Structure 1
């Protein structure tokens, strides 16, 4: 840690993987839920706590300031906000990997444990849809949504056949930009040329229909939230194509993360 840097306490099931970006000064290795509950019981409200509460309030203001932005393609903040507003508190989202995953990890508010599934270690593309199918099989009474980028979805898109054949209730949200968005962000952050990142997508509405699912294309920001509700009310397998505008990436995420 450089002089005057932030002190970090690592709380996890495993020891920290130390690198130039992440190097905690203290580690608590064990069950996360138990650790946090014990810490909460041990802490007492003081002036520092009040400062943290004020800081938390400012963070929440920043998180929610563009929840209702009407621009199209949709901003990541609007997509995350509408997904949260459109789902039950016990709904499960299974995230594939891409820039949208970072937005969801930072902005999506959870009410129950194990309601957000994401692969933050290997960051494997293509895992979102199969993970969501497993959730829908295990919890048929709960809302389940797979959230994928167009690149990640196409790596395992054939599993839509599995979902329809099994008669699952599942909504698949495809966040589309016709590019490998995270790689573009990293290349730009490292001063590299924008190369080999763009591709063409199929018509996802027709693609859904070809497997016996129902496809939808969001063409207006205010169409998105009602569409989520109607898909879950109707039941079955639905694919929602929602175009995303990643112009907010530079403003929110630091250069250190882009270069990680």
Structure 2
């Protein structure tokens, strides 16, 4: 994931790999839209545990994966070794993207940059002439956004000047970010299944580093259970007849072809 350097440790505070496993279909969709292959160079921005980087590497592309969180990069490197994939990993964020590449990917990564316009410009600079940028970002009206709204009252206020990450999931906003370039968008979805709303809330809290980082404070002021309750209420809207949760979260898939 890409984020302000002062906040990178929060990505490692939760069980992000468990969430990343649920998100791998979105990474596969982004790579399919990018259509890399042998002889293609790929940059995965905010690689996390490497889902998109690995999917691109399996096509024969030469892949560089960047993330600001050392703990997640360590997991990604171990996964690459286990699968025998040649991926170059570098610690960094959108302010320090290495080189230019035929394909630039961001799967729920660049959306967390503090300055959206600056991040978009960085992606364009990292894209070689004739290449394309493909991003996935949660939509403002989807499940992920609803869960974030429920958790918001339990978190510290966002930093001054920060921009909501889900704005990257708004088609008009993305077109404005990449004004002057060809942009095409589609809405896709990631599915989630849980035994109950309470199980969904427990998973959400366990995997979310920014929530785990507040655990001690929320336990001290007796808010920890209330956080779980409010998140469970979000998933209650997605229960089936047998009480299980069958939900999906929409994301915007944007394909940008920079005009050089």
Task: Please give the TM-score of this superposition, normalised by the length of structure 1.
Answer: 0.38
Greater relative CO (CA pairs within 8 A, separation 6+): 2
The structure number with the bigger radius of gyration is: 1
Task: Please give the TM-score of this superposition, normalised by the length of structure 2.
Answer: 0.38
